[in-house]
Structures are given as C-alpha cells and as structure tokens.
Amino acid sequence: MSSSIRGLRRTDLTHGIVQVSLDLKNLDDGLRMAAIAVEAGADWLEIGTPLVMAEGTRAVRALRKEYPDHPLVADLKIMDGGYGEAAMFADAGADAVVVMGRAHDATVERVCEAGEKFGLLVMGDDMGADDRAAEGRRLEDLGVGMVLHHIGHDHRSVNKHLGLSPLTDLPAIVAATTVPVQAVGGLSIDQAVSCPTIGAGVVVFGAPLAIDDETSFTIPEGDLPRVLGDAIARVHATPVAAV
C-alpha cells in the first residue's frame, strides 16, 4: 500500500488534487489508461466500477505493482458485507474504498471499522439521496473520511431536461460537512476544475474521458494525453476554498 490517505483532512488540501478513474472493462486497457494518467500528472488512480467488476482484486494488485506510490481507490459501491469486502481490497493494495450511503448504517459502520483496522480511506457515496447535505452529515457521523457527491449516469440520462449537475448541491454539502468532498457525474472539464473553488478539493476525471457510449468502455482515441494533462495542471493550480 502507498503512503496512507486515510487521515486526509480538508485543511490538508491547499490546492486541488486529481483522481483519474479507470472506467474500463479489462486490465490491459486499465493499465494503459493508468500510464496515460500518471504521465499527465494524476495524483490518485481509481479502479472504476466496470474494471472492479471485470477484474476484481487482480486489477488492484496489478496497479499497485506498477504504481507503488500512487493512492488507489476501489469504487466498490459497497451495499452489504462491508467489512469483508473492504478488507479484501485492502489486502490487495487499495488505499480507499467506496460505500454507498443507501446502504444500512451498519454496513457503513462496518466499512469504517475495516478502514480503521487496515488504514483505508472510506468514501461515502450519496447517490440517490433525497437530501444531499443531510446525507453528507449522516455519512460523516457514521465515520467516513470523505463524502462523494454523485449524480448517477442513469439518473442524468432519464432526466436530461432537468439539467442535473453535482454543482447544484455541492456548496450545501461542503458547508454541512468537515471531511473532504468530491463531486462526480456529468461534469465538464471546466466544471470539474472549478470544484476546488467551492471547497471540494479532490477532483475526479473519469467516464467522460474514457467511455465512448454506455456499453463500450474503451479509451478514446485522439488527444487524451494533452487534454488530460492540461486539465490536471489547471486543477493543481486552483486553490481550495476554505469553508
């Protein structure tokens, strides 16, 4: 495991840091995308849900071998069996795991217990919550070390006319919590770069850069290294607002 990010505090984030999600369907593509991301300056690597589903702990072990110093986030979207699933991925070399806020309180607490034992940062995902600020407070009270504010792909797709965006509730979530916050789900590069100015200092670049369509998880051709490098540099240059 790399140097621990478990104890990361919001005040530690003076400028934005970047997590690149490997939203791909096989390990070869995941490793290729990781190489592009690291070369572009990514701080953290996320084993996105498609890659976790396709390759499991094998993907974590392979990325840990290639990138021993980069924090690895396993987007498991844990709903039950929290302690065991978190422990399994900690053993493989993950530094952080994601638990869903829609899970029972006991599951969130069990993931946090595993986080404490194995040195994991536990990220609580608020996807599907009716009151996002209240959900952020609940997740922090249950012990998560970061709140992940998430507007899901399907939710956005069936509600295109509503203009759903994580930026809508982000200021209220940041104000309601003290742990670090990140926002994901349909953000443009410019919108993602703006997140630190709202107080959400961990910026995620993921599916829009990696998914051609909903059923084809492939690395896009073209100018990805330059586009990603420019975006990461902009995030690194953006101060995180004190809230």
Compute the C-alpha angle 2/100/149, nearest 5°. 80
Beta-strand runs (E) in the chain: 17-22, 44-47, 72-78, 96-100, 121-125, 146-150, 181-184, 202-205, 211-213, 216-217
- Look at residue 44 and tell me if it is in a domain: yes
- Look at residue 3 and tell me if it is in a domain: no
Average pLDDT in the 4-14 region? Answer: 94
pLDDT for 141 equals 98
pLDDT for 222 equals 67
- Look at residue 241 and tell me if it is in a domain: no
pLDDT for 12 equals 95
178/2 Cα distance (integer angstroms): 24
Residue 212 has pLDDT above 70, yes or no: no
Q: Give the torsion through C-alpha atoms of 105, 106, 112, 115, to 10 deg.
A: -150
- Look at residue 4 and tell me if it is in a domain: no
pLDDT tens for each residue of 75-128: 999 999 999 999 999 999 999 999 999 999 999 999 999 999 999 999 999 999
- Cα torsion angle, 39, 125, 174, 118, sign: negative
| Residues listed for the chain | 243
pLDDT for 158 equals 77
pLDDT for 43 equals 97
Better pLDDT: 185 or 63 = 63
- Banded pLDDT at 207 (limits 50, 70, 90): low
- For the ranges 45-54, 186-195, 217-226, the maximum mean pLDDT occurs at 45-54
Our count of domains for the chain comes to 1
- Look at residue 142 and tell me if it is in a domain: yes
- Look at residue 242 and tell me if it is in a domain: no
What pTM value is reported for the model? 0.93
Full domain range(s) for residue 203: 10-236
CATH of the domain at 37: 3.20.20.70
pLDDT tens for each residue of 30-44: 999 999 999 999 999
- Look at residue 1 and tell me if it is in a domain: no
pLDDT for 210 equals 41
- Residue 224 three-state SS: helix
Better pLDDT: 209 or 112 = 112
Contact 193, 236 (CB under 8 A): no
Residue 213 has pLDDT above 50, yes or no: no
pLDDT, the chain, mean: 91
Better pLDDT: 102 or 222 = 102
Residues 6+ apart with CB under 8 A from 145: 6, 7, 8, 115, 121, 122, 123, 179, 180
